[in-house]
Each structure stands twice: as structure tokens, then as C-alpha cells.
Amino acid sequence: MAETNPEALQRQKQKKRVGLKPLTNAIDGGVVLRFAPNPNGPLTIGHARGIVINSEYARNYSGKVVLRFDDTDTRVKPPLPEAYAWISEEYEWLAGRPADITIIASERMPLYLNYAKQMIGDGFGYVCRCSASEFKKLRDQSRSCPCRERSVDDNLNDWESMIVGEIKEGGAVVRVKTNLELANPALRDWPALRIQHTPHPMVGDKYKVWPLLDFQSAIEDHLQGVTHIVRGKDLMDSTRKQTLLYEHFGWIYPETLYWGRVKVHEFGSFSTSQMRSSISEGDYSGWDDIRLPTLSALRKRGFDPKALKEFWIDLGLTQKDISISMQTIESFNSSIIDDKCERRSFVRNPVSFNIDKGELTSKIPESLLISRHPDELIEGERIWNLGSKIFVEQEDCVYTKIRLKDFADVFIEDGNAIIESMEKGDRRLIAHWIPEGMEINAVLHIPNGNDIELVHGLLENYEIKEGMIIQLERVGFAKIDEIQEDNLVSMIYLHG
């Protein structure tokens, strides 16, 4: 080998590439990407991939991201008015900055209708009044439908009828003329706009003709100067259809990248419309119900956006259909939050004992100083005022001699905990406990598939605030969701 190919010997051992693959045809400062969700509900964990990949590429190339609401369907997937603001906000939460440009398709209807008219006027689009099934039949045989041969003037007349609402829903569509011999039947004379008389939640009944995704998205990408489109590979045919349209208009289609289908083990398959109906039926408390795979739910549970970001970047962009596990995301999250989460004691199944100080009375302090983080990564201590009683987790009461963590060795007898020494004298069990007076009733909500498991106990009531994420010693990370007026703390379990 040294003779045939000496360079081969120089080859280094491979390393894993970090970050996203470079984009083709990308100029620093000139990259425009877009993230285009349907505002028919808030974002899910799958959308997170789109936000992360697009915003990361924009960051890498000092480019821009257009947040575009593709809300041109009033009936099958009607937009949810509140969702627009949720999505903008969730985008910012994840990307770390707001989108550079925000576009709402339904506000830009005149533009799309104009291009449609131009398309008809220039003869590469036509109004088709065949039924969907009639058309499909002809299309599958590469035959043109009767409407295709009509004059531009006839088409423009029909177009006007569509626009003013004279033609019923389903009565006509506008098609883009393509080569009918195209190998892929799905691309032949594809539909660009259809009639919808159902009022749009945002703009009302102003428009009777609405563009379909392939048309609206194609026009808008051109208008915004999008240079790179990253989309699911289920939209590969969209790319092909849109490229045909671009050729008609004389435009250049953006670079396109794809990702495969993503399933999350813990959530199985789900859809926004499915969740929407389950929520309205009361199966879930709302879009942020902790059992749901929505971004709002993950956020409510206390996930750090950086964890999601690192996770999706590590996965990168592949066209493989994948099945991921929340465990991996949780692992990214742990490494990010562990250093900044304070520890608190949470005693489940508490058993109370009287403290018997015995002969050591004079040596026992009135309060203990306990570190906020075991590695001293967080300054200051938690102050535990000792009362006359303690609560110990029942599980730890199987022995008579135990050590109260960070405090003293005790001997348990007849409901009393008799202090034997402050120093750890032997290898006895270290018990989990909390002094009386420091406790507050708490309930931990653990999402578990379709259920929420409730774990009751006593939480260490030291500097707790709503919204803070702490690590419950022995249990795992949790978020203080609500401190109720009846002195009950509601907590949400994050992960171990």
C-alpha cells in the first residue's frame, strides 16, 4: 500500500462531525430560511426540529429565518387564533431570539390571487371544473381534461366567478399546467387553488378562493427570497411541483433539504388535530398538559430549550425515518440543569419521631446549614431550624439505628429518635428526613403514559418559588408549579 497509495497511510482516525453539515450554495450573510407551521395548534416536539435546524443554520451563516404561518385552509385544518402568538413565543423560546420576519399567509391573499390570475392569463394555469375523481381518472392515464383546452378568456371569466363566490365549494380548482407524461402522476396538472366558503378565523369571509400549500408556499418563498428550504421528506413531491411552477414563472427554486419522519417512543403517534379534539373533550387539561408532546408541555415541565437544541443538532439532518427516546433528551437536559438546580428534601410516606437529645442537649445546634448543591456549585446554604420532631421516610425506618443525613446518628425507639452522636459513628443507613417546622405538604405529578401518577409527601419549605426547578434529593428533578393558598405545593416531575 505504501507504494500504491502513500497518502492512505496519513489518514487520520475518523472523528464524529459536530454541528450541522454545511449548506450547499450558501453565502455568508445571504442565507434565508423559513419555518412554516400551520397555526392550527401550538407547536409539538417535532416542530422543534424545524425551529432548531433553521435557526441554527441561520446563525451559522449570519442569515435570516422567516416565520410563516401557513393558514390557508379554513375547513380541514382551521387555524386557531390564539396559536399565532403561542407559536411566535415558542419559536423565540427555543431559538433564543425572535424570527427575523413574520408572515401570515392569510394577510397576503391579494398577492397570491394576483399570481394566480397571472398564471391563468399567461396560459400556464387553468380553471378546472371536473370533479376530483373524474380528474384523477384522466390524470392517471396521462390524458388532459376538457377544461385544459379552453381559452384564456374563458378561464379568466371562470376565475372571476370563483373569486366573487359564484361557484360552490368543490365546483372548480385552478391547476398548474405540467407535462402530462410526467412519470409521477401526482405531479400532473396539480391543483394550486380551490374554493372555500367557510369563513377564515382571522380574515372572515373576504375570500372565496384559497391557495393550497404548494402554491402559496412556492409564491411566498420566492417573495421572501428564501435560499434554502428544510422540510420533511413527505414534502418531496411539493418540491417537484413547485419547481415546475417556478419554471413557468422563470424563477430559480431554492436549495432543498429533507428530514425523515420522527416518532417519539414515549408519545407514539399523535397529531395536532387529534390533540385538539382530545383537549376539547376534556381528556387533557390543555395544550400544556404534562402528558402531551407539545412544546408548551415540555416547557411547563421544566425542560431547558438548550437541551432540545443540542439534541436536534446532534441528530442533524438525515432522511432516515427515526424513532427517538425522551431519555436521550432528558440526558441532555440533566447535564444542562444539574449545576444550577438547588437541592431540596422531599419525604414521601413521612413517619414522625420526637427528638430526644439525651445527654447531648448542649451540643446540638438550633439550626443546620445544608449545602444548596452537593458540589458547592451554588453559593450559600439552606438553613434548617430544628424543632422537637422530625419526619423520616418510612422506607428508612426499617432499622433502629439510622443516620439522619447531614445531622446525627439516632436510635429509634417508641416514637423517639434518640440522638447518639453528631458524628457519623458507623456505616449505618443514611436516612432521608426533614425537621418539623420546615415542611410543607406537596404533591408530585409524574406523567406516565396516559396517566398522571401522584406522589404525596412533605417538601422542605426553604426558599421555594413558583417556577423554580429543583432536584428532589433521591427522587430527581422537578418543577415547583404552584404554591397553593391552602399550603399545598404542586410539583411536576421532570426526570431523574
Site membership for RNA, residue 131 (CB under 7 A): yes
Of 207, 178, 206, 203, the closest CA to residue 192 belongs to 178
**Which residue from 112, 287, 477, 493 is in contact with RNA, where contact means CB under 7 A?**
477
Q: Shortest approach of RNA to residue 296 CB, angstroms? A: 19
Q: Scanning the structure block, which residue is given the C-alpha cell 361557484? A: 167
Residue (8 or 366) nearer to RNA, CB: 8
Of 59, 57, 138, the closest CA to residue 97 belongs to 59
Q: How far apart are the C-alpha atoms of 44 and 287, rounded to whole Å?
A: 10
359-380 as b/e: b if 16+ CB within 10 A? eeeeeeeeebebbbbeeeeeee
Q: Shortest approach of RNA to residue 9 CB, angstroms? A: 6
Site membership for RNA, residue 132 (CB under 7 A): yes
Alpha-helical runs (H) found in 126-202: 132-140, 152-164
Site for RNA in 15-34 (CB under 7 A): 15-17, 21
Continuous segment of H or E residues that includes residue 342:
strand 342-344
Of 389, 417, 414, the closest CA to residue 402 belongs to 417
Residue (32 or 494) nearer to RNA, CB: 494
Of 492, 452, 447, the closest CA to residue 472 belongs to 492
Residue (97 or 168) nearer to RNA, CB: 168
Q: Shortest approach of RNA to residue 374 CB, angstroms? A: 4
Residue (130 or 438) nearer to RNA, CB: 130
**Which residue from 54, 55, 178, 471 is in contact with RNA, where contact means CB under 7 A?**
471
Count of residues binding RNA (CB under 7 A)?
Answer: 92
**Which residue from 158, 221, 393, 460 is in contact with RNA, where contact means CB under 7 A?**
393
Alpha-helical runs (H) found in 302-432: 305-315, 326-337
Q: How far apart are the C-alpha atoms of 488 and 484, rounded to whole Å?
A: 5
Q: Shortest approach of RNA to residue 131 CB, angstroms? A: 5
Site membership for RNA, residue 426 (CB under 7 A): no
| Grid cell of 192 as nine digits | 394550486
Stretch that binds RNA, among 201-209, 296-304, 450-458, 468-476 (CB under 7 A): 468-476
Specify which residues 44 forms β-bridges with.
Answer: 294
Q: How far apart are the C-alpha atoms of 438 and 313, rounded to whole Å?
A: 43
The site map against RNA for 297-336 (x = CB under 7 A) is -----------------xxx-xxxxxxxx-xx--x--xx-
Continuous segment of H or E residues that includes residue 116:
helix 109-121
Stretch that binds RNA, among 49-57, 107-115, 399-407, 444-452 (CB under 7 A): 399-407
Site membership for RNA, residue 238 (CB under 7 A): yes
Q: Shortest approach of RNA to residue 267 CB, angstroms? A: 13
Residue (225 or 374) nearer to RNA, CB: 374
Q: Shortest approach of RNA to residue 400 CB, angstroms? A: 16
Collapsed DSSP state (helix, strand, coil) of residue 134: helix
Q: Is 127 exposed, middle or buried (0-12, 13-18, 19+ CB in 10 A)?
A: buried
The site map against RNA for 337-356 (x = CB under 7 A) is -x----x-------------
Stretch that binds RNA, among 26-34, 72-80, 92-100, 283-291 (CB under 7 A): 72-80
Collapsed DSSP state (helix, strand, coil) of residue 421: strand
**Which residue from 243, 357, 476, 483 is in contact with RNA, where contact means CB under 7 A?**
476
Site for RNA in 240-269 (CB under 7 A): 258, 260-261
CB 476 within 8 A of CB 495: yes
Residue (328 or 416) nearer to RNA, CB: 328
Torsion over CA: 439, 445, 448, 453 (sign): positive
Torsion over CA: 464, 467, 469, 474 (sign): positive
Site membership for RNA, residue 75 (CB under 7 A): yes
Q: How far apart are the C-alpha atoms of 226 and 246, rounded to whole Å?
A: 13
Site for RNA in 149-188 (CB under 7 A): 169-173, 183-186
Stretch that binds RNA, among 96-104, 155-163, 191-199, 480-488 (CB under 7 A): 191-199
**Which residue from 101, 123, 136, 463 is in contact with RNA, where contact means CB under 7 A?**
136
**Which residue from 13, 414, 426, 465 is in contact with RNA, where contact means CB under 7 A?**
13
Q: Is 163 exposed, middle or buried (0-12, 13-18, 19+ CB in 10 A)?
A: middle
Q: Shortest approach of RNA to residue 187 CB, angstroms? A: 8
**N residues, the chain:** 496
- Write out 27-62 in H/E/C secondary structure: CCCCCEEEECCCCCCCCEHHHHHHHHHHHHHHHHCC
Site membership for RNA, residue 398 (CB under 7 A): no
Stretch that binds RNA, among 53-61, 277-285, 402-410, 448-456 (CB under 7 A): 402-410
Site membership for RNA, residue 12 (CB under 7 A): yes
Q: How far apart are the C-alpha atoms of 380 and 424, rounded to whole Å?
A: 24
Site membership for RNA, residue 8 (CB under 7 A): yes
The site map against RNA for 204-223 (x = CB under 7 A) is ------x-xx----------
Residue (105 or 292) nearer to RNA, CB: 105
